[in-house]
Chain A
Amino acid sequence: MSSEGEKKPGSTGGEGWEPNIVAFCCNWCSYAGADLAGVSRFQYPPNIKVIRVMCSGRVEPQFVLRALELGADGVLITGCHIGDCHYLSGNEKAEVRMKMTADLLEMLGIGRDRMRLEWISASEGEKFAETMREFTERIRELGPNPLTNGGEDSG
């Protein structure tokens, strides 16, 4: 069950609303994937704000909650494919942590769909662009973060 049904009336974003998305990208794979998407001139929406972290395992559940508290409409965590982690098992840890975070978001009523974990390697520029497009559309469907008063206080 997602929080989709719980949107406030009139919170479909109105005219000017654009999804505000934070993406945590691991230094070794996904951030390089973003670079490749850039140099290959793959188009993706400008709604994504990329934050580089050294490993997807660095992303604490608190980062996700805090981003949402501060007005993000969606949070994306990307890292190396399982088995490819630069630190051997960081992404495995991220997987466990992010599953818990999704459960927590569901319990809190924000909905697990506002967050996604995706594996993108340095050679997958196309996948990076595609993930960003897809996730932005998904968040657009969900509407503004319920914590931002229908998108009005979002930063």
Chain B
Amino acid sequence: MAEDEISKLIEETGAFDCVECGKCTSVCPAAVYDTEFAPRLIVVKAQEGIKDDPMTKKNIWVCLTCEMCNSMCPYKVNYTGFIQGLRSMYFRRGEVPICSQGGLVHTMQRLMAKEDLKQNRLGWVDDDIKISKDKGEVLLFTGCAYQLGTIFDDRAAFLRDVPKSAVKILNAAGVTPVVLEDEVCCGHDLLWVGDEDSFLKLMDKNIERIKATGVKKVVFTCPECFRTFDVDYQDFSEDLPFEMVHISEFVKDAIDDGKLKLRNIDKKVTYHDSCRLGKHMGIYDPPREVLSAVPGLEMIEMERSREKATCCGVNAWANCEENGKKMQIDRLKEAKGTGAESMLTFCPKCEIHFRCATHNKVPVPIEDVDIEVEDFTNLIAKALEDGE
């Protein structure tokens, strides 16, 4: 591994400032279950010039990239960025992790990067909703919720409804969004397993196609797409000429402006802050404010929420294993313990992972974890006043 590459990475991520206090390890959700894992050790070994350490090799794939460590570090070391850089280096050497589903999702994304196939990605569009296919002010980036809902039909089929729900919400607020027929995946999963080349191809396609529509605002439902555009695309290319908002922010603003009214839903819910939306993008309040605007809905916080929210146990499909499962079960227990009927979240991956945890046999009594996992966007669509 190129030494200067590591030195550059150490400099870029501020890893040189690490004072070895160990706060990162103390809050790391992965370290709770894997006692050999420590974000600090990976950085320290790299600084000391220990190359090809077998522990590092294993542990860069154990990391969940949730940024819990970053938020706790007194010297603002970007551990997650450091891990991502290492992953790219390992990927270039051909050392790739074993991904769940045999890497199906990554292959799907690489196919989109490779050739411009004429996709049939708008199967969810029907006459109930209004979309534009080329020009407009606002664009909805649908992400892969529809595809993931198809792949995980047996556990998260509701994901197929997410893009339609998002359009319903936008329509109700008086917006006819542009939805691209030739949108490609944002490339999040490829970036986080280190495949930068394919990621950059996807990035260029998306940026070019969105620019061509001349939209001023892009709305995202998926926290991963949102982060990838707002942070990674702007890092790898240049500042994007459109505003990027998450749908929770959009709904909150629309409610504040009186453009959107939500009707009564009698339900007790709890909210899981996904790492991309919470710790990466700092969006904690808009989803909560949206929930408080739904009459009849009771929101109960989990003990570990906001900055302290734990992870769904898997990142970029690269580390679905025993510890991830334990993490999911513990999180579901916590959610169930609040007495809520369902746990809401925005991230399709979180939803799939939590559903997966209870899909087969569970190591605890099923009544401790059988809370419904529901998509936030779908719930807002249900609460639209003139909906359905």
Contact = CB atoms under 8 A, between A and B. Distances in A.
Interface of A: 1, 3, 6, 60-63, 65-66, 68-69, 96, 100, 103-104, 106-110, 146-147, 149
Interface stretch (B5-13, B113-121, B127-135, B208-216): B113-121
Contact of B117 (A61, A66, A104, A147): A147
A66 B321 CA distance: 23
B102 A108 contact: no
A48 B72 CA distance: 57
A100 B117 contact: no
Given A100-B151, A104-B147, A147-B111, A110 B117 contact: yes
Interface residues of B, number: 23
A62 B103 contact: yes
B104 A108 contact: no
Given A107-B119, A107-B121, A66 B151 contact: no
A96 to B, nearest CB: 8
B117 A109 contact: yes
A62 B150 CA distance: 14
B264 interface: no
> In terms of DSSP, what is the predominant structure of the interface of chain B?
helix
Contacts of B121: 107
B150 A100 contact: yes
Contacts of A61: 101-102, 104, 151
Nearest to A145: B115
Given A103-B150, A107-B150, A146-B115, A1 B120 contact: yes
A106 B108 CA distance: 12
Given A61-B151, A65-B104, A100-B153, A107 B111 contact: no
Contacts of B279: none
B252 interface: no
A6 B102 CA distance: 28
Contacts of A1: 120
Interface of B: 101-104, 107-108, 110-112, 114-115, 117-121, 123, 146-147, 150-151, 153-154
A3 B150 contact: no
20 contacts: A61-B102, A62-B103, A63-B102, A65-B104, A65-B111, A69-B107, A69-B110, A96-B154, A100-B151, A100-B153, A104-B147, A107-B120, A107-B150, A108-B111, A108-B112, A108-B117, A146-B117, A147-B114, A147-B115, A147-B117
Nearest to A106: B120
A6 B117 contact: yes
A147 B107 CA distance: 12
A65 B120 CA distance: 16
Given A69-B111, A100-B150, A107-B150, A3 B117 contact: yes
Given A60-B102, A62-B102, A104 B119 contact: no
A6 B116 CA distance: 10
A109 B121 CA distance: 9
Best-buried of B112, B146, B151 by chain A (most CB within 10 Å): B151
Given A61-B151, A62-B102, A108 B114 contact: no
A69 B114 contact: yes
- Minimum-distance CB pairs A-B, first 4: A109-B117, A62-B102, A62-B104, A109-B119
B147 A66 contact: no
B101 A62 contact: yes
A103 B148 CA distance: 11
B108 A65 contact: yes
A108 B113 CA distance: 11
Contacts of A60: 101-102, 104
B150 to A, nearest CB: 5
A77 B113 CA distance: 26
Nearest to B153: A100
A61 B112 CA distance: 16
A39 to B, nearest CB: 34
A104 B111 CA distance: 12
B150 A104 contact: yes
B288 to A, nearest CB: 34
A147 B146 CA distance: 22
Contacts of B112: 108
A69 B112 CA distance: 10
A57 to B, nearest CB: 14
Nearest to A104: B150
A3 B102 CA distance: 25
A61 B152 CA distance: 12
B153 A108 contact: no
Contacts of A66: 102-103, 107
